[in-house]
């Protein structure tokens, strides 16, 4: 049912009929579902659930004030409120994407028909077997991208039944692959490994993302949204841990130049490889979600977007130039929290506030490039909803 029409264009009766039927069978958006893989930028509750399964001590980022502005509780989202994936779901007219890991005995499979999220806060793209020989041991979770993909494959029969139904389900889903890979670099860099040593991981991380995308295409994926990395040189944690008189700062933003160049290196390689995938699969839509430049816009012009406390100082944390104290984490009793998170870009030093995620989502998903994915997707139904 390939159709290039959009809901707003003037079309023949037959096309309108097809469109009406599409709207009936596919809900009010382009896609029937969001399937998501990634880390804390997209986790809507998996790490929280993993923590309770393993009876481990609770991570501070699962406690208040995380989530204080959203549903008035900690859902396991690493922000004060909603994440980019939540704004995306709202825009597509879909329910918020539920975490794959649910309470024991709670049969929630039916809710996965409109979305399922495998992202786990702290997850890396690479498996521990690749990272550990390099001295990188994940303190939060071993649910790497490969593990998340395995969960997806295992759960398919209960979500969509037989193989042909599942191909159909996957083909009508918007699949968010990432952001992932940031933690592969965060752990070693924040632990003091030289950036030059961490750089050798970039091609490995990008290849892992690309092979995951190829597997998903093999399973029937037709629309993939692949985010790049954020400008980590602007994050309050990196500014606190890596900043020094010897480091170069961008005079316009105050961000660390070398770390932003590192993020751009990952992003450029990812885009080069995505182009190769597109060339091989012209029938598949692959949207590169440019988190880097969407965020840089805020770091360059924080006042324009209402971030009157500047773009660099964290809202939740401790003492210090950037409100980050490596010995006090947001979520711990001794942490301080700002009164107006909406005036900050940085929530806890690493993650952004809901207000920042809202602006980024708007800049990314209100664009003609993103909307055009919809008109060429299999359902051919126009986008509805707004941010
Ligand atoms: C959120 O929870 C706090 C503490 O439990 C309570 O004081 C506050 O009224 C709640 N706010 C909303 C909007 O429910
Ligand atoms: C990840 O796996 C390694 C062994 O490969 C283990 O030592 C480590 O504790 C695990 N990390 C978590 C957070 O489960
Ligand atoms: C898959 O299941 C659907 C019913 O849900 C059925 O109509 C279809 O024939 C099945 N396809 C195969 C290949 O078994």
The pLDDT of residue 52: 76
Domain assignment of residue 384, yes or no: no
The pLDDT of residue 378: 47
Q: Look up residue 367 and give its DSSP letter.
A: S
What separation in Å is there between the alpha carbon of 138 and the centre of ligand 2?
7
The pLDDT of residue 103: 75
Atom 12 of ligand 2, nearest CA residue: 141
Domain assignment of residue 337, yes or no: no
User: Among residues of the chain, what percentage have pLDDT more than 70?
Assistant: 86
Cα distance between residue 52 and residue 76, in whole Å: 12
Domain assignment of residue 342, yes or no: no
Query: In the predicted model, what is the mean pLDDT of residues 91-99?
Result: 94
Ramachandran category for residue 193: left, alpha or beta (phi over 0 → left; psi -120 to 50 → alpha): beta
- Exposed/middle/buried for residue 279 (C-beta within 10 Å: 0-12, 13-18, 19+): exposed
HEC per residue, 217-231: HHCCCCEEEEECCCC
Cα distance between residue 120 and residue 143, in whole Å: 7
Q: Is residue 118 within 8 Å of 36, Cβ to Cβ?
A: yes
Domain assignment of residue 102, yes or no: yes
What separation in Å is there between the alpha carbon of 160 and the centre of ligand 3?
10
Question: pTM of the predicted model, to two decimals?
Answer: 0.88
Q: Which atom of ligand 2 has the smallest separation from the CA of 122?
A: 13
Query: In the predicted model, what is the mean pLDDT of residues 18-26?
Result: 36
pLDDT in tens, 50-87: 987 776 667 888 899 999 988 667 899 999 999 999 99
Which segments of 20-131 are extended strands (E)? 33-37, 115-117
Q: Residue 2 above 60 pLDDT?
A: no
The pLDDT of residue 72: 62
- Residue 181 sits in which domain range? 29-306+353-376
Domain assignment of residue 340, yes or no: no
Mean pLDDT, the chain, whole residue set: 88
Domain assignment of residue 23, yes or no: no
Cα distance between residue 143 and residue 125, in whole Å: 9
Q: What is the maximum alpha-carbon separation in the chain?
A: 68
The pLDDT of residue 374: 82
Note if 348 is an active site residue: yes
Domain assignment of residue 383, yes or no: no
Structure tokens at 203: 């091609």
Note if 351 is an active site residue: yes
Which 3 state secondary structure label does DSSP give 336?
Answer: strand
pLDDT in tens, 308-339: 999 999 999 999 999 999 999 999 999 999 99
Atom 13 of ligand 3, nearest CA residue: 164
Structure tokens at 117: 């999220």
Continuous segment of H or E residues that includes residue 374: helix 368-376
Task: Using the structure block, give the residue that is written with the tokens 């130049």.
Answer: 257
Residue 258: HSE in the Cβ half-sphere, 13 Å Cα cutoff: 14
pLDDT in tens, 169-216: 999 999 999 999 999 999 999 999 999 999 999 999 999 999 999 999
Q: How many domains does the chain have?
A: 1
CATH of the domain at 111: 3.40.50
Domain assignment of residue 328, yes or no: no
Q: Which of 5, 348, 375, 379 is catalytic?
A: 348
Which one, of 5, 42, 46, 19, lies nearest residue 225 by Cα? 42
What separation in Å is there between the alpha carbon of 80 and the centre of ligand 1?
14
For ligand 2, pick from 120, 126, 128, 146 the residue to mutate: most ligand atoms within 8 Å of CB.
128
The pLDDT of residue 26: 38
Which segments of 281-325 are extended strands (E)? 285-289, 316-317
Residue 87: HSE in the Cβ half-sphere, 13 Å Cα cutoff: 20
Query: Closest ligand to 168 CA?
Result: 3
Query: In the predicted model, what is the mean pLDDT of residues 285-297?
Result: 98
In b/e form, how buried is each residue of 229-260, taking b as 16+ CB within 10 angstroms? Answer: bbbbbbbbbbbbbbbeeeeeebeebbbbeebb
């Amino acid at each position: 049912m390939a159709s290039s029409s959009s809901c707003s264009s003037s079309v023949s009766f037959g096309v309108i009929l097809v469109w009406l039927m599409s709207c009936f069978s596919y809900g009010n958006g382009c896609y029937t579902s969001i399937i998501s893989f990634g880390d804390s930028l997209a986790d809507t509750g998996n790490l929280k659930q993993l923590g309770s399964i393993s009876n481990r001590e609770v991570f501070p980022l699962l406690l208040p004030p995380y989530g204080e502005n959203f549903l008035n509780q900690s859902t396991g989202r690493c922000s004060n409120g909603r994440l980019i994936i939540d704004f995306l779901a709202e825009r597509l007219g879909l329910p918020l994407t539920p975490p794959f890991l649910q309470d024991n005995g709670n049969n929630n499979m039916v809710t996965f028909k409109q979305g399922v999220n495998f992202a786990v806060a702290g997850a890396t793209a690479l498996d521990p077997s690749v990272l550990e020989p390099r001295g990188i041991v994940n303190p939060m979770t071993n649910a790497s991208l490969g593990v998340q993909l395995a969960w997806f494959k295992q759960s398919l029969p209960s979500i969509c039944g037989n193989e042909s139904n599942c191909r159909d389900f996957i083909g009508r889903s918007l699949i968010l692959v990432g952001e992932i890979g940031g933690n592969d670099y965060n752990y070693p860099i924040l632990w003091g490994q030289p950036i030059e040593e961490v750089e050798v991981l970039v091609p490995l991380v990008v290849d892992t993302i690309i092979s995951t995308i190829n597997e998903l295409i093999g399973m029937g994926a037709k629309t993939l949204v692949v985010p790049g990395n954020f400008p980590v040189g602007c994050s309050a944690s990196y500014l606190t841990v890596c900043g020094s008189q010897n480091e170069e700062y961008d005079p316009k933003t105050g961000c660390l130049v070398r770390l932003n160049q590192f993020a751009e290196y990952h992003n450029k390689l990812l885009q080069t490889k995505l182009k190769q995938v597109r060339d091989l699969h012209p029938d598949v839509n692959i949207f590169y979600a440019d988190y880097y430049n969407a965020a840089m816009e805020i770091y360059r012009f924080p006042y324009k977007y209402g971030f009157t406390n500047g773009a660099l100082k964290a809202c939740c944390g401790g003492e210090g130039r950037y409100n980050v104290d490596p010995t006090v984490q947001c979520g711990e009793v001794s942490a301080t929290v700002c009164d107006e998170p909406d005036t900050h870009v940085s929530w806890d030093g690493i993650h952004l506030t809901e207000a920042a995620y809202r602006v980024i989502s708007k800049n990314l998903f209100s664009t003609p490039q993103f909307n055009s994915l919809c008109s060429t997707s299999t359902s051919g139904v126009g986008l509805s909803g707004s941010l």
